[in-house]
Chains A and B, each alone.
Chain A
């Protein structure tokens, strides 16, 4: 097969770096609804029927949304195997906590309304809360740690050794990022609830949404300021061969204060990423107040796009720096799959991602409209 030579290795790596961002943003923008709705459930729904309304805003779509997470895992495995291997084994207990919380979520959606008992339903409501809040927090904490560098080493066989502990992950900067992640996804969930419901539920969601979008704005600013003053970046000190073999140990790199801001100095137009993050959060806040339901969701998506892009752009070309041995850091140019695998996966993605987006849009269209208490309690209905 010579076909993969059509696109050179370096370009493919850059494309897959962008696609990695697309997947993370896709996950946050779709499954983010479900995470935010879960985290808000006990607060915006006070009676059983209100809570069922809230659950049914995402009832028919959470399964599809969640595939973004599965696809994210699969695509990282396929396109960035070292990233998959180092991050999930390094963050082992944190991943376990995420998985435990995420197991509760589908089960909570499906099983909650199958029994007419207040204790049963109340229990699942808290399970859904955990399933929304805990992953939102830990995803942010993980990103906060990635920005600071993760204590791993590689030996000559590229076997991975991790020096950190679970509690080491919970440092102040990482927790700040965790809170930002929670605020961002709660904003997103609130925007969705406002769009899909009416009356008291919608009003409560609006109030929480305003609070959360305001917090997103502040935490994002604070995160940037702390990144500048307290967090060291990383820089490659050897020549970069964009088409070189995927072996991190073939380069040299150092920890360097301020390095995470170097890309903006070299290419000021990249500042558009943090600008969208801030502008999006601000616009979301305004739209909540102005009762522009559809626009609120779009503004929230814009903010998610800006915030996640900012992380990627600041770190480029690093994707997972190592604080224990900066030389072992994973970068776009030494942590990818082979040329052929990246090419095959790109072809598959170009064929299937548009199809997925098309039918997802169609399903959302079929399910368009507000969720009302009557449609849930109707006999022969199929609501959760």
Chain B
């Protein structure tokens, strides 16, 4: 990746998004776990479940607040760094973001205050309602963000308007019920549930190893293992659905993830391991399992799965069609200024307009895509291939982790059913060590989805390189360094507080009207 304006803009977005996504999965999952624990409290009336809700709630709060803080940055960065993108697709992309605020984030953020501050001010059921509202809000929030993101992967329900030089919505229901968005939503939310489950499981296992808070640890592990098992199964199933949909809508991404340079005879083999080589355009030392890939991606034994090289040939055809569209667009615009109509150009645009985005790939090489040379066309066609090796490896590590989570939560689920959770100390140690792994899997998943979409910011519609703001490199460097500095300090502080709260453990909370402690007045300065 070159560090020009485009490269720097991508770097800043990737950095801030990956950082934001450190906090989101835990919020998604833990909010639901809190609601489950508090429901048990309200139903059984046993105070230990309230104590658990409050304890995991404290950790939830430390994490939640950084998700909120870094989410503000995400909301404004499209306009700041991707102004042409914002102009070009704001008519469609902006709506889910606004609806997210209105329908989901208000709900989550308004009731989270009551979750923390409302314990003594409301009835049991009233407080439980607030907790479920937080869980519902954060999960709905993910829905709308992924409807927006799903549209970037599979831009349905929209057409290009020459007069306004942008994409405009033509069928909102297609945007809403975009199959890619639905699959991504369930996959991402489940991944959040897994993250929270492994987190609760690991921290509880640590208490068990230390012989502290055994009652709370055992109950927490039971909830986390059962919820986590269901969630990790769902992640893998929905990941499979995503693979199937990727073949329908993003064949190049799928081929790159698989390091599949040539079209295989159906059903295609799955490359378990190998070394993709971008220069040589092949994958060395590939270890293949016959037929599996074809089954995953096409769910048939006869459908072919196109390889990268064949997809590049198709991209070249679309670029040529896009050049005709671009030429027509320029003519129509000129005619519009002269208040004349050019029917030939109109027809040419109607026939080729769907490939206009492919012509914009040529902007890297020429100011006038309509007059590009064959060499430039070939280069642009090969630009549609993302970097294969990072995708290939990220995807395999993520999937491997996914299966590990099923195993881990499955084992603890069985132990819990046998009421034998603390039997194997080494298993408890594995659970503690597994705590960071869901984060790794989630970040890799983000990487595969977004890096695999390159060179497009909107698949087939707008190249990433054309979407940036006209900023200076120095300005961008300044903000990259600024964000990096702030974010580094904050993560150190967050981890410190998280560890402190975990070490301190659940507070004794048998009587909420406990005696007043003397107000320890610390001088302000």
Other-chain residue from B69, B79, B119 in contact with A106 (beta carbon distance below 8 A): B69
User: Which of A277-285, A297-305, A376-384 lies on the face that meets chain B?
Assistant: A376-384
Q: Which residues of chain B are near A111, meaning CB under 8 Å?
A: 62, 65, 493, 497
Cross-chain contact A89 with B525 (CB below 8 angstroms): no
User: Which of B159-167, B180-188, B244-252, B438-446 lies on the face that meets chain A?
Assistant: B159-167
Report if A86-B65 is in contact (Cβ < 8 Å); known contacts: A352-B102, A367-B121: no
Q: Which residues of chain A are near B171, meaning CB under 8 Å?
A: 1
The contact string, 1 if C-beta is below 8 Å from chain B, for chain A 71-93, is 10111111101101111110011
Minimal beta-carbon separation of B416 from chain A (angstroms): 30
Q: Which residues of chain B are near A118, meaning CB under 8 Å?
A: 522-525
A352 and B169 alpha carbons, distance in the complex (Å) = 21
Chain B contact residues: helix, strand, loop or mixed: helix
User: Which of A158-166, A189-197, A208-216 lies on the face that meets chain B?
Assistant: A158-166
* A70 interfacial contact with B, CB 8 Å: yes
Cross-chain contact B486 with A70 (CB below 8 angstroms): no
Cross-chain contact A96 with B482 (CB below 8 angstroms): yes
A379 and B479 alpha carbons, distance in the complex (Å) = 43
* Interface size of A in residues (CB-CB distance below 8 Å): 93
Cross-chain contact A374 with B516 (CB below 8 angstroms): yes
Q: Which residues of chain A are near B333, meaning CB under 8 Å?
A: 156
Q: Which residues of chain A are near B164, meaning CB under 8 Å?
A: 158, 245-247, 338
Q: Which residues of chain B are near A356, meaning CB under 8 Å?
A: 102, 106-107, 110
* A102 interfacial contact with B, CB 8 Å: yes
Other-chain residue from A60, A122, A345 in contact with B524 (beta carbon distance below 8 A): A122
Q: Which residues of chain B are near A374, meaning CB under 8 Å?
A: 516, 519
Residue of B nearest to A377 (CB): B519
Cross-chain contact A63 with B98 (CB below 8 angstroms): no
Q: Which residues of chain B are near A96, meaning CB under 8 Å?
A: 80, 478-479, 482
List CB contacts (< 8 Å) of A133-168 with chain B.
156-162
* B272 interfacial contact with A, CB 8 Å: no
Cross-chain contact B161 with A338 (CB below 8 angstroms): yes
A100 and B70 alpha carbons, distance in the complex (Å) = 10
Cross-chain contact B91 with A88 (CB below 8 angstroms): no
Cross-chain contact B65 with A110 (CB below 8 angstroms): yes
Other-chain residue from A61, A63, A250, A338 in contact with B68 (beta carbon distance below 8 A): A63
Report if A47-B523 is in contact (Cβ < 8 Å); known contacts: A70-B71, A85-B83, A100-B482: yes
Residue of A nearest to B97 (CB): A74
Q: Which residues of chain B are near A69, meaning CB under 8 Å?
A: 72
A170 and B518 alpha carbons, distance in the complex (Å) = 49
Minimal beta-carbon separation of A20 from chain B (angstroms): 12
Interface size class of B (residues with CB under 8 A): 35 or more
Q: Which residues of chain B are near A100, meaning CB under 8 Å?
A: 482-483, 486
Residue of B nearest to A84 (CB): B79
* B418 interfacial contact with A, CB 8 Å: no
Other-chain residue from A70, A93, A344, A363 in contact with B95 (beta carbon distance below 8 A): A344
Q: Which residues of chain B are near A329, meaning CB under 8 Å?
A: none
Q: Which residues of chain B are near A376, meaning CB under 8 Å?
A: 519
* B112 interfacial contact with A, CB 8 Å: yes
Minimal beta-carbon separation of A245 from chain B (angstroms): 4
* B66 interfacial contact with A, CB 8 Å: yes
Report if A60-B117 is in contact (Cβ < 8 Å); known contacts: A70-B105, A92-B469, A162-B470: yes
Q: Which residues of chain B are near A382, meaning CB under 8 Å?
A: 116-117, 119
List CB contacts (< 8 Å) of A49-79 with chain B.
49-51, 59-64, 66-67, 69-71, 73-79
User: Which of B211-219, B283-291, B506-514 lies on the face that meets chain A?
Assistant: B506-514
Q: Which residues of chain A are near B515, meaning CB under 8 Å?
A: 379
The contact string, 1 if C-beta is below 8 Å from chain B, for chain A 251-276, is 00000000000000000000000000
The contact string, 1 if C-beta is below 8 Å from chain A, for chain B 444-486, is 0000000000000000000000000111000100110011001
* B349 interfacial contact with A, CB 8 Å: no
* B517 interfacial contact with A, CB 8 Å: yes
Minimal beta-carbon separation of A255 from chain B (angstroms): 23
A61 and B72 alpha carbons, distance in the complex (Å) = 17
A286 and B122 alpha carbons, distance in the complex (Å) = 36
* A46 interfacial contact with B, CB 8 Å: yes
Cross-chain contact A380 with B114 (CB below 8 angstroms): no
* A331 interfacial contact with B, CB 8 Å: no
* B313 interfacial contact with A, CB 8 Å: no
Cross-chain contact B98 with A337 (CB below 8 angstroms): no
List CB contacts (< 8 Å) of A164-206 with chain B.
none
Cross-chain contact A60 with B172 (CB below 8 angstroms): no
Minimal beta-carbon separation of B138 from chain A (angstroms): 12
* A229 interfacial contact with B, CB 8 Å: no
Cross-chain contact A81 with B116 (CB below 8 angstroms): no
* B87 interfacial contact with A, CB 8 Å: yes
Cross-chain contact B98 with A71 (CB below 8 angstroms): yes
The contact string, 1 if C-beta is below 8 Å from chain B, for chain A 348-365, is 110011001001100100
- The 8 lowest CB-CB distance pairs between A and B, nearest first, are A81-B90, A88-B79, A78-B94, A77-B94, A60-B113, A74-B98, A64-B110, A71-B101
Some 25 contacts from A to B, beta carbons below 8 A apart, are A45-B524, A48-B522, A60-B114, A64-B106, A78-B99, A79-B94, A84-B78, A84-B90, A92-B471, A93-B475, A96-B80, A96-B479, A103-B490, A107-B69, A122-B524, A125-B524, A158-B87, A158-B166, A159-B470, A160-B470, A245-B163, A341-B168, A356-B106, A377-B516, A377-B518
Besides A106-B65, A106-B66, A377-B516, 7 other A-B contacts (C-beta < 8 A): A49-B519, A61-B110, A73-B101, A93-B479, A100-B483, A374-B516, A380-B511
